[in-house]
Amino acid sequence: MKIETIAIHAGNQVDETSKAVIQPIVMSTTFERNHEGGYDSGYSYSRAANPNRTALENVLAKLENGADAAAFSSGNAAGMSVFQALQPGTHIICPDDMYHGLRNQIKMLFAGILEFDFIDVNDAEVLKAHIKPNTGLIWIETPSNPLLKITDIKQVVAIAAGHNLKVVCDNTFATPLCQQPLALGADMVMHSATKYFGGHSDLMGGALITREKDGLWERIRDVQTMGGAIPSPMDCYYLIRSIKTLPYRVRGHVHNAQLLAEFLENHPRVEKVMYPGLQSHPQYAIAKAQMTGYGAVFSFTLKGGEEKAKKVVNAVKIFTQATSLGGVESLIEHRASVEGPDTKTPFNLLRVSVGLEHIDDLIADLEQALA
């Protein structure tokens, strides 16, 4: 099946009892045992499994063409389950511009438990030089947040394979519509389902999808079940509903992002636009080779420094000044202020999540804010 059909049907089934076309929301926390003490339904307790979560995990796995998926209450919970599943003392290699929420999580919660280095994973020689006997995992994020760096997934996978290392790819910015990391050799994909899967800035969720059900995956499943950082049946239901329109929403987002990035690249007050869909992007060739679309988040820096950037972000009328991304509404933020004192983000940088408003209105809004 094509991805549009998968998005609609893989998480949906006709209810056997009522014949309702859309499955019910099963709020029960516990399920009846049979006379032998087993469970005819396959469900025992909703922390372990729930019909709505099963349906969500099914569509997530099929969207990324994986063997299995695990749903979590947030993207950070999904990422943390990977780190919790590793043996103490394991060394992780992470990108130097890793999403700050997960970077801070590793630095603060796993100090003394795991070892970690934040490096330029796009430099093959630097990456090889940081592999140690206890290295177990390479984490990549492409496109990266907020600098929109592109990692050559096949290159990292080839290096990892030579040392028997796992590769996990944060695919939140790209979505399965624009990039399929498992098909490029990655072992696992992570998403903040809060973003494009939810798509309307009103749901929290996270997801992991694996290429194969191996030992690490079984430990992650144990973390999910025993830790209990799971989405509610209601959240699962609404995520499934939102995913049905994901392919068409993402196409609209990408269309707007490309046109808006091109407008800004030619604006005299703009210093630089970081968007992999522009030929000026330093890794445009890699993006073109491994992506079928370039996503709908980009960053741009302004002439005039931090003062000008803050003036622009406070002058928009259609864009909302807010954190997050992937919703139908366009968002803009001064990223360095959000990331805090250890940020590596330039202070004249604004990050944009391009929504589904009419492109003419979005261009006009940024034009007046830049004036």
Looking at residue 344, what is its pLDDT? 81
Picking from 35-39, 130-134, 155-159, 292-296, which range would have the lowest pLDDT averaged per residue? 35-39
Q: What is the mean pLDDT of residues 243-271?
A: 98
Q: Is 241 one of the annotated active-site residues of the chain?
A: no
Tell me the residue ranges of DSSP E strands in the chain. Answer: 68-72, 91-95, 115-119, 135-141, 166-170, 188-192, 206-210, 270-274, 297-302, 320-321, 331-334, 349-353
Q: Is 103 one of the annotated active-site residues of the chain?
A: no
What's the whole-number average pLDDT of the chain?
96
* pTM of the complete model: 0.96
In this predicted model, what pLDDT tens digit does every residue of 89-146 receive, in sequence order?
A: 999 999 999 999 999 999 999 999 999 999 999 999 999 999 999 999 999 999 999 9
Angle formed at CA 151 by CA 146 and CA 155, multiple of 5 degrees: 170
Looking at residue 341, what is its pLDDT? 80
Q: Is 237 one of the annotated active-site residues of the chain?
A: no
Would the pLDDT of 342 be above 80? Answer: no
Active-site hit among 62, 166, 195, 335: 195
Q: Is 251 one of the annotated active-site residues of the chain?
A: no
- Tokens at residue 319, please? 């864009």
Active-site hit among 47, 154, 244, 288: 47
**pLDDT band at 39; cut points 50, 70, 90:** confident
Active-site hit among 170, 187, 235, 365: 170
Active-site hit among 43, 99, 237, 294: 99
Looking at residue 155, what is its pLDDT? 98
With 0-12 / 13-18 / 19 or more C-beta atoms within 10 angstroms meaning exposed / middle / buried, residue 192 is: buried
Looking at residue 37, what is its pLDDT? 84
Q: What is the mean pLDDT of residues 173-189?
A: 98
Compute φ and ψ for 299, nearest 5 degrees. -125, 155
